Amino acid sequence: MPFDRYATFQPDESTYASNALRNNANGVYPDREALERFKIRELCEGWGSYRDAAEWQNYRSMFFDDAYITTSWKQGSIDEFIQASKDGFAEGSSFMYIAHRICGSSVETNTQLTRAVCKMKTTITCRFTFDGVEMDNEADCRFFFLLEKREGRWGVCLFTLLFDKDKFVPVNPERRFRVPEEEVDQFPSGYRYLAWAEEKIGRPPKLNLDSHGPEKNVLYGKCKDWLEGRLVVPDLTGADIPGWKPRVDAFRDRELYRPRL
């Protein structure tokens, strides 16, 4: 049997948040609960609309001040990520031109409607230029937003993603750049071409964002912890970052977990 680069498996049963509210399948106040999910979806879909257009004020409004962002090429606070994104735009073709196609979302909340996880199907397109040849990388992935409701407003606290598969496409079919398969195969299967390209431009990629690896269960487990009110610390797909804690200690604010009827 040939090697399956894209083995897809059901998340471990222990990572399933059985009490979460989702897709009108359960709950007590379906219209009210659905409205909260719609608010969350609207907020999260701003990632592509705002970031790709450099609408930084609008993009920043999606996140709380203590938000932590993880992508393949940058990990850090929301303000660090925005600055890195600005710098990337300024670098032009020596970096990569990043755009997003948003394909749909699903949202889960806790029963108190104070915490949520939004999973968003996305295709990231990155235009690279190698030796004067423009190449588009297209990566199918899933964005994971961990959100909280503070003082009546939803905001993103943590963000990461998992990659399903990717490919390279020449912008001009008559001009091609050779991508050595033996080098590409050293990277995770879900984003091996993107990771190779990021390494090529001097941005060593984060290597535990593969939806076909063990990090999938790590992430789903942390999503469950989030919905069940526990402290969740990045790295969301790996070991906790030593000493990291949110600036806002929401766990002492018991009002946060009271139902708002």
**Residue 236 maps to a domain:** no
d(CA 120, CA 118): 6
Query: What's the whole-model pTM score?
Result: 0.93
The C-alpha atoms of residue 120 and residue 142 are separated, in whole angstroms, by 5
Question: Measuring CA to CA, how many Å separate 213 from each of 65, 142, 185, 193, 216?
Answer: 31, 14, 15, 17, 6
Residue 252 has pLDDT above 70, yes or no: no
- When divided into structural domains, the chain yields a total of 1
Q: Does 179 reside within a domain? A: yes
Confidence of residue 248 (pLDDT cuts 50, 70, 90): low
pLDDT computed for residue 77 by the predictor: 97
What is the per-residue pLDDT across 7-24, written as a single tens digit (0 to 9) for each? 999 999 999 999 999 998
pLDDT digits (tens, 9 = 90+) for 118-160: 999 999 999 999 999 999 999 999 999 999 999 999 999 999 9
Mean pLDDT of the chain: 93
With beta carbons less than 8 A apart as the criterion, state whether 102 and 120 touch: yes
Specify if 234 maps to a domain: no
CATH of the domain at 147: 3.10.450.50
Residue-wise pLDDT tens digits, 91-128: 999 999 999 999 999 999 999 999 999 999 999 999 99
pLDDT at 255 (0 to 100): 41
Mean pLDDT of 84-95: 96
Joined together, the tokens standing for residue 43 give 């907020």
- Residue range 35-49: average pLDDT? 98
pLDDT of residue 243: 82
Q: What is the pLDDT of residue 254?
A: 36
Is 3 within a domain? no
Mean pLDDT score, 213-241: 96
pLDDT at 242: 87
**Using one digit for the tens of pLDDT, what is the confidence trace for 162-209?**
999 999 999 999 998 899 999 999 999 999 999 999 999 999 999 999
Residue 260 lies in a domain: no
The verdict on residue 6 lying in a domain is no
Q: Is residue 246 part of a domain?
A: no
Give the pLDDT score at 250. Answer: 46
Q: Which domain holds residue 168?
A: 21-228
What pLDDT, on a 0 to 100 scale, did the predictor assign at position 256? 41
Q: How far apart are CA 9 and CA 140, in angstroms?
A: 17
Report the pLDDT value the prediction gives residue 260, as an integer from 0 to 100: 36
- Domain membership of residue 167 (yes or no) is yes
